[in-house]
Structure 1
Amino acid sequence: MSTETSALTRRDPSPITGNAIVRVGPVNPTVAQALIDDYDALILPAGGPEREAFLDNHAESIRVAVCSGKIGVDTELMRHLPNLEAIVNFGVGYDASDVAQAAERNIPISNTPDVLTDCVADTALGLYLETLRSLGAAERFVRNGTWATGVNFPLATRASGKRVGILGLGRIGAAIAKRLEGFGCEIHYHNRSEIAGSSYAYHSSAAELAEATDVLVVAAAGGPASAGLVSAEVLEKIGPKGFLINIARGSVVDEPALVSALQNGEIAGAGLDVFTNEPHVPTELLELDNVVLLPHLGSGTHETRADMAALVLENLRSYVNSGELITPVS
């Protein structure tokens, strides 16, 4: 998608007022309140007859949509908004919106890069340590009284000095790699193309990366292009002593294949912050003790969410005033 987001992309040169802005789905409370207080924005009903009536009344007047990375402006909704000019997205991921249709219609999308990089990378590091060292299972071992009976907790896997593959060496992937270097890890990566000047070992495919490393960390962007990238074949290459960490999108991993690999000991364990059908997690994963499960909290700190909210509102304010987004998706 082009980063050219000047006022020339507007089909309507008139000022953007409240009934031209719609909130799609739940958003950050600070953003939600600002949409009411500063813009008197519309709120799209969740579904049913109320949503249909809302679109009948307001669809043609809506020019800007504000949404979260989890909800987005999907294919059907975008088709119902003939005069939509811009999508302001809360989150670095924007794959919940129909990116292809937005590109065809010259509708720019903004996201919130950089401000959440450190917290997501910190979460990945926490998952890495908790998964390899079985820290979650160890805490449950204490809490349920097993340790008090005199039983020893099973040995885990050393976390330092591992060969770690980063699948997607973008902002977040690079921040994860930097943290793991502090643990003496040897970093490998796979991207759509090799990064010039990188000191890390490049591999031409996800399967090749998995075979060459002890731990595969998924940091690739979501969307159709990466769906199922971590396939049954890739999981097989990870091997029975290897681990998978996913802080990207659930869609990047073939979830049924992952469940099977974990159940059958084809990989040693997994640390997951994201799932295919959030907030629903496969029952089979809930029953496994070699999996660490988090509720998609990668950027979930007070500080980062405040920074994300501020950037969303800056993008909205900028587009309303000048027709330009501050952080358009490239």
Structure 2
Amino acid sequence: MKPSLLVLIPLGDDSRTRIAASFDLHYAPTREARAEAVAAHGARIRAVLTNGTTGLTSGEIVAMPALEFVSALGAGYENIATDHARARGIVLANGAGTNDDCVADHAMALLLAVVRDVPQRDRATREGVWRDALPMRPSVSGKRLGIIGLGNIGQKVARRAAGFDIDVAYHNRQPRDGVAWRYFGDLRELARWSDYLVVATPGGSSTHHLVDRDVLEALGPKGFLVNVSRGSVVDTPALAHALSSGAIAGAGLDVCEGEPHPPQALLHLTNVVLTPHVAGTSPEAITASVDNFITNATRHFAGEDVLTPI
């Protein structure tokens, strides 16, 4: 008999078909479907597939007494009740490494778009406004990039930046062994050094509003912020004030607080580029993430260790 799997996140038909070949799949990607599925099938659910934003609560874990395996599709897992799961002996896994390239690509796309003002230039061209009527924008190359969180994604952003002759430094809780990039223990000092600041750190309580008014002021009126991690890392009111007052030059955001609702305080601003949390999604990244989940879950139910444990 196939293990019963509860899927709490939207998946395409192809992904669901591939997963259903190995699991008795219960698909509940909405809040209403989720509550109904837990109530109706919770007693026999043995595995859950979710992501860091959607998460899994301790109450839901309690409602699934047979649960033994929980996986986040991507790298993030901040809203999964990991302590409660571990106390129950539930195996935890994530999709670390499956969409790093896609996220790093998107970070650079946002940086290029906001520094070169691509959305506004596109609109101007469509409206018949030629370049002489538009202010010149700065070059991207030859500047300084600060990375908040030098994990796999942060390191891939750094390598991409090297192609633009950009000098890179980073901030972590601790310096990373084996990397040549400059380390800043003080985030405000990194922001003060940087022309661009890319947020690639995990979400959760430890990084909540890590980028606050002081950090943005240190980044300065010629500085640009890019966030491809979690909306909670950046203080939205502080960012809105910095963008509207000229305290920073611009921002490119793939994530925001209060998702999936758009950040109302930013929508009227022309110096911010917004995308709807798509940095980690592409056909290639989704295929790799689903493959990773199937491999981990299959290994677990065969009595083997998972490849990407949390």
What's the counterpart of residue 127 of structure 2? 144
Kindly indicate whether residue 10 of structure 2 is the aligned counterpart of residue 26 of structure 1: yes
Change over 3 Å in CA distance of 1:30–1:206 after alignment to 2? farther
What's the counterpart of residue 90 of structure 2? 107
What's the counterpart of residue 6 of structure 1? none
Kindly indicate whether residue 24 of structure 2 is the aligned counterpart of residue 40 of structure 1: yes
Kindly indicate whether residue 122 of structure 2 is the aligned counterpart of residue 132 of structure 1: no
8 Å Cα contact 2:10-2:29 kept in structure 1: no
The alpha carbon displacement at 1:177 in A equals: 0.4
SS in 2 for 1:325: coil
8 Å Cα contact 2:50-2:72 kept in structure 1: yes
- Residue among 204, 217, 241 paired with 2:185: 204
SS in 2 for 1:22: strand
- Whichever residue aligns with residue 286 of structure 2, its letter is R
TM-score (norm 1): 0.87
In 1: Cα distance, 2:106 partner to 2:236 partner: 20
The alpha carbon displacement at 1:160 in A equals: 0.8
8 Å Cα contact 2:237-2:265 kept in structure 1: no
Kindly indicate whether residue 74 of structure 2 is the aligned counterpart of residue 97 of structure 1: no
SS in 2 for 1:113: coil
Q: How do residues 257-268 of structure 1 correspond to structure 2 at under 5 angstroms?
A: 257-268=238-249
Q: How do residues 1-330 of structure 1 correspond to structure 2 at under 5 angstroms?
A: 17-18=2-3, 20-44=4-28, 46-47=30-31, 54-147=37-130, 152-329=133-310
SS in 1 for 2:7: strand
RMSD of the alignment, in Å? Answer: 2.1
In 1: Cα distance, 2:112 partner to 2:240 partner: 21
Indicate the structure whose relative CO is greater, using CA pairs within 8 Å and at least 6 residues apart. Answer: 1
SS in 2 for 1:248: coil
Change over 3 Å in CA distance of 1:183–1:35 after alignment to 2? closer
SS in 2 for 1:306: helix
Q: Deviations over 1:137-168 (max 9, x none)?
A: 11111112223xx8522111221111110000
TM-score (norm 2): 0.92
The alpha carbon displacement at 1:26 in A equals: 2.2
The alpha carbon displacement at 1:292 in A equals: 0.8
Q: Deviations over 1:254-285 (max 9, x none)?
A: 11211111111111100111111222112232
The alpha carbon displacement at 1:323 in A equals: 4.8
8 Å Cα contact 2:7-2:29 kept in structure 1: no
8 Å Cα contact 1:31-1:312 kept in structure 2: no
The alpha carbon displacement at 1:28 in A equals: 4.3
In 2: Cα distance, 1:161 partner to 1:51 partner: 49
The alpha carbon displacement at 1:69 in A equals: 3.7
In 2: Cα distance, 1:163 partner to 1:217 partner: 11
Q: Deviations over 1:191-249 (max 9, x none)?
A: 11011232111111222211121111101011221111111111111111111011111
Change over 3 Å in CA distance of 1:166–1:51 after alignment to 2? closer
Change over 3 Å in CA distance of 1:45–1:252 after alignment to 2? closer
* Structure 2: gaps of 5 or more residues: none
The alpha carbon displacement at 1:29 in A equals: 3.4
Change over 3 Å in CA distance of 1:213–1:76 after alignment to 2? same
In 2: Cα distance, 1:78 partner to 1:86 partner: 11
- Whichever residue aligns with residue 32 of structure 1, its letter is R
8 Å Cα contact 2:38-2:60 kept in structure 1: no
- Whichever residue aligns with residue 185 of structure 1, its letter is I
